[in-house]
């Protein structure tokens, strides 16, 4: 006989859209279960995304900077032990993942490992042998890599962003299909490890959705790392030739690689959940539809994270998880998606937040924009980052900061200054009141303000005659 366990909330999925929802619900005094089908917590972000890729970004950069340093001798025998690198990555992932499991347990969340299936009367089955009855359900099942049919050749040569972490030997060459942030981050990492790289991107520029100046700068940097980039191009066909992958492109060129990484998109992970039985509507692209309270078309079911639609970002998932938890527990918190920063961990990093000039116009502002290259920032000279820039979008009359883009070392850390500014409606002059330590990249904030005021010390501004 199967026993039935009763909960106030069942959360399906243990990634950033799920585990914070479970913890918050527990903090609110509810009886909570979380179901995870991978056997470990953290979801795409911890297991295959943010955490391992950023660790790789860091380690590959250290290795590459040593290799190219004039002041390091005896580099002839230096080589990267890829298996050891992957072991280290895997240890970091395990620590973050087991940390999440520890937290869930500490907060008294019941953990079920297995596949969840919903039934009409708010009953949730786990692997069809555990039965949970619940009042509310939060779905945070995330997304899977999307592999179009034409790439389903074999599992040995064709990789997605997960399988790349199973490699124990760096490929000598790789074709990356898709120049979005996943493809471009892996290109940056692998190029620094000495891999020969081809990126094929169907759009006119890599990193669609990212500031065009930033995209172009990173494209240039990738080229200088030896990465070959084919824009406005698609892969028509792939085949195995002499143990390698040969890809025929839309312009009939042929490129070869030991491996091929497919990073063209993601698909929501909703198969087999039984959403249809509970009247949970999905969009054309199969993301779960929600209102601003993260509530689905079934009022007892909430969704958060990737499965609730773009942007597919961990820090967005965290917020939606909390909104779902608060509202499913009787709260009334809105999810406001305006000011989610976008980061690309390239070299240099790209970070953007708030409105672009066009978006600001659409919102009824009269925006002014200023881009400043970083040559006047001493730290940029130290870091060889003078080609980077900061771009500020502000309202012309009030000088309120509406958005911005930073392309520089530590952009992912620095963007929070702009995030705070756009969230609180700060004026550019407000940022000018702080003292930015020398020599840091953060001095770019002071420099751009001085420049806007025509009173730069570290840039020459010709007097208007």
Q: Could you say which residues in the range 98-127 bind a second copy, by CB under 8 A?
A: 99, 102-103, 106-107
Q: Mention every residue, 6+ apart, whose C-beta is less than 8 A from residue 16.
A: 42, 43, 45, 46, 305, 314, 315, 317, 318, 321
Contact 18, 11 (CB under 8 A): yes
31 touching a second copy, by CB under 8 A: no
95 touching a second copy, by CB under 8 A: yes
Interface pick for a second copy out of 75, 239, 292, 361 (rule CB under 8 A): 75
Interface pick for a second copy out of 225, 340, 357, 368 (rule CB under 8 A): 340
Buried residues in 286-316 as b, exposed as e (16+ CB within 10 A): ebbebeebbbbebeebbbbbbbbbeebbbeb
Interface pick for a second copy out of 273, 419, 448, 451 (rule CB under 8 A): 419
Q: Mention every residue, 6+ apart, whose C-beta is less than 8 A from residue 221.
A: 346, 347, 348
51 touching a second copy, by CB under 8 A: yes
DSSP 397-442: TT-BEEEEEEEETTHHHHHHHHHHHHHHT-BHHHHTTSPPPTTSTT
Q: Could you say which residues in the range 345-384 bind a second copy, by CB under 8 A?
A: 351, 375-376, 378-379, 381-383
167 touching a second copy, by CB under 8 A: no
Q: Could you say which residues in the range 306-335 bind a second copy, by CB under 8 A?
A: 313-316, 318-319
Contact 177, 265 (CB under 8 A): no
DSSP 22-39: HHHHHHTT--EEEEESSS
Per CB under 8 A, the segment of 2-10, 126-134, 356-364, 406-414 that binds a second copy is 406-414
CB atoms < 10 A from the CB of 196, how many? 17
Q: Could you say which residues in the range 249-278 bind a second copy, by CB under 8 A?
A: none
Going by C-alpha positions, the residue among 458, 406, 56, 67 that lies closest to residue 225 is: 67
Per CB under 8 A, the segment of 261-269, 300-308, 390-398, 451-459 that binds a second copy is 451-459
158 touching a second copy, by CB under 8 A: no
CB of 11 to a second copy, least distance (A): 13
440 touching a second copy, by CB under 8 A: yes
Does residue 438 have an active-site annotation?
yes
Q: Could you say which residues in the range 126-145 bind a second copy, by CB under 8 A?
A: none
16 touching a second copy, by CB under 8 A: yes
Interface pick for a second copy out of 166, 292, 300, 457 (rule CB under 8 A): 457
Identity of the residue, 80 or 131, whose beta carbon is nearer to a second copy in the bound complex: 80
* Alpha-carbon span 106 to 438, nearest angstrom: 43
Residues annotated catalytic, as ranges: 438
């Amino acid at each position: 006989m199967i026993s039935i366990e009763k909960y106030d909330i069942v959360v399906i999925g243990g990634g950033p859209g799920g585990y914070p929802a479970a913890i918050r619900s527990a903090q609110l005094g509810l009886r909570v279960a979380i179901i995870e089908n991978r056997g470990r917590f953290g979801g795409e972000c911890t297991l295959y995304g943010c955490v391992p890729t950023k660790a790789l970004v860091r380690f590959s950069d250290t290795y590459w900077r040593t290799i190219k340093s004039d002041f390091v001798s005896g580099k002839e025998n230096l080589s990267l032990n890829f298996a050891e690198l992957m072991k280290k990555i895997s240890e970091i992932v395990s620590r973050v993942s087991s940390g999440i499991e520890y937290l869930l347990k500490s907060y008294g969340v019941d953990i079920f490992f297995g596949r969840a299936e919903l039934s009409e009367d708010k009953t949730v089955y786990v692997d069809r042998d555990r039965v949970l009855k619940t009042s509310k359900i939060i779905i945070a099942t995330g997304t899977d890599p999307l592999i179009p049919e034409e790439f389903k050749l074999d599992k040995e040569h064709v990789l997605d962003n997960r399988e790349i972490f199973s490699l124990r030997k760096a490929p000598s060459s790789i074709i990356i299909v898709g120049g979005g942030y996943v493809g471009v981050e892996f290109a940056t990492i692998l190029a620094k490890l000495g891999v020969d790289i081809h990126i094929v991107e169907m759009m006119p520029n890599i990193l669609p959705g990212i500031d065009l100046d930033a995209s172009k700068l990173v494209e240039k940097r990738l080229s200088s790392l030896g990465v070959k980039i084919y824009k406005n191009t698609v892969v028509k066909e792939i085949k195995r030739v002499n143990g390698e992958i040969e890809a025929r492109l839309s312009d009939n060129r042929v490129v070869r690689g030991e491996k091929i990484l497919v990073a063209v998109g993601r698909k929501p992970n909703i198969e087999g959940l039984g959403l249809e039985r509970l009247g949970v509507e999905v969009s054309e692209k199969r993301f779960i539809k929600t209102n601003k309270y993260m509530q689905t078309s079934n009022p007892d079911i909430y969704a958060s994270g990737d499965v609730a639609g773009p942007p597919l970002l961990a820090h967005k998932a965290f917020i939606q998880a909390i909104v779902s938890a608060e509202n499913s527990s009787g709260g009334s918190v809105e999810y406001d998606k305006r000011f989610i920063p976008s980061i690309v961990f390239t070299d240099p990093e790209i970070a953007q937040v708030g409105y672009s000039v066009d978006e600001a116009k659409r919102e009824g502002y009269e925006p002014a924009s200023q881009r400043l290259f970083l040559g006047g920032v001493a730290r940029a000279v130290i870091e060889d980052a003078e080609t980077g820039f900061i771009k500020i979008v502000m309202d012309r009359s009030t000088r309120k900061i509406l958005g911005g883009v930073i392309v520089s070392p530590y952009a992912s850390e620095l963007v929070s200054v702009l995030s705070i500014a756009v969230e609180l409606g700060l004026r550019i002059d407000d940022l000018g009141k702080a003292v930015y330590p020398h020599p840091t990249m953060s001095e770019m904030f002071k420099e751009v303000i001085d420049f806007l005021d025509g009173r730069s010390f570290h840039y020459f501004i010709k007097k208007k005659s």
